[in-house]
Amino acid sequence: MTLVKSLYAGIASVSFALAALPAVAAEDNVKIVASFSILGDMVEEVVGDLATVTTIVGPDADAHVYQPSVADAKAVAQADIIFVNGLGFETWSETLIAESGTDATVYVATDGITPVTVEGKIDPHAWNSLSNGMIYVTNVADVMTEAMPEHAEEIAANAAAYIAQLEALDAETKTKLAGLPANRRTVVTAHDAFGYLADAYGLTFLAPVGIDTEAEPSAKDLAVLIDQLKADGAAALFVENITSPTLIQQISDETGIVIGGRLFSDALSERGSPATSYLAMFQHNLNTLLSALGNATAS
């Protein structure tokens, strides 16, 4: 995949100028809105009990096709700080923020991340590389330190502890995936959500749908992918938590490639499922990949 050097924020109104954000009084209950569940979890890890975090697109929901509600508009209107992913991920966010009348400052959590492109389009799923996840966390911590300087030490400690966990999981992921043979490194998912994981950890992901789940593959494109898989093979197919398994099942039926499990791509899971946090989601995806691809080191 081609690396592009310029950062595309996704919505023109978003700023990451920390000087624009006034410090919030210590007695105030700081209200933060995060655009989707994975980002919301990162923010909660950084702020702990210091602020209230509301997430717009919740667990197992698809941010690509989300339609904001009246309750979402109210939460945005009352927010002090808003975090979005950017990179074109939340196509609905600019309208929601503008029409809410909010006075909140909006920040792009992917600021400083070099995006990858998929078929000429910027891939917004940057969190699927743990090194990028650390940049998200650093950006959130910088914003919150500026907003709540009286809690700077606690925010820094929270962020440092969290980044240490991400670093450890990143090292584990690199070590375990490095053990896969060349013929077990190509997989198929429902949509192109794992470009950053592919680049970071040396895998190849194919998909019948591009980076946006709202699109549908043409019969010709699907036939081309199926013919490619029949000719070249793939180690496994994976369904996703936010998309219908129908296409993956069809590909499995026509190619004989087994479905290796479910990956969490754009959203965390509901309580009781294995991906209720960013760390848990990544660990689940790693173990699911390793189990399906035949690596005995999965834990």
Q: What pLDDT does 8 receive?
A: 29
Q: What pLDDT does 143 receive?
A: 98
Q: What pLDDT does 218 receive?
A: 80
pTM, 2 dp: 0.88
Region for residue 216 given its phi and psi (left: phi exceeds 0; alpha: psi -120 to 50; beta: otherwise): beta
Domains of the chain: 18-173 (3.40.50.1980), 177-292 (3.40.50.1980)
Tokens of 135: 């940049």
Tokens of 286: 């790693």
Which residues does residue 209 pair with via DSSP β-bridges, in sequence order? 191
Residue pair 68/102 in contact by the 8 Å Cβ criterion: no
Q: What pLDDT does 119 receive?
A: 82
Q: What pLDDT does 28 receive?
A: 67
Q: What pLDDT does 24 receive?
A: 54
Q: What pLDDT does 299 receive?
A: 38
Bridging pattern class, strands 236-240 and 259-263: parallel
Tens place of pLDDT per residue across the chain (299 aa):
222 222 223 333 344 444 345 555 444 689 999 999 999 999 999 999 999 999 999 999 999 999 999 999 999 999 999 999 999 999 999 999 999 999 999 999 999 999 999 888 999 999 999 999 999 999 999 999 999 999 999 999 999 999 999 999 999 999 999 999 999 999 999 999 999 999 999 999 999 887 777 677 788 889 999 999 999 999 999 999 988 899 999 999 999 999 999 999 999 999 889 999 999 999 999 999 999 997 433 33
Q: What pLDDT does 211 receive?
A: 79
Q: What pLDDT does 14 receive?
A: 40
Q: What pLDDT does 31 receive?
A: 98
3-state helix/strand/coil string of the chain: CCECCCCCCCCCCCCCCHHHCCCCCCCCCEEEEEEEHHHHHHHHHHHHHHEEEEEEECCCCCHHHCCCCHHHHHHHHHCCEEEECCCCCCCCHHHHHHHHCCCCEEEECCCCCCCEEECCEECCCHHHCHHHHHHHHHHHHHHHHHHCHHHHHHHHHHHHHHHHHHHHHHHHHHHHHHCCCHHHCEEECCECCCHHHHHHHCCEEECCECCCCCCCCCHHHHHHHHHHHHHHCCCEEEEECCCCCHHHHHHHHHHCCCEEEEECCCCCCCCCCCCCCHHHHHHHHHHHHHHHCCCCCCC
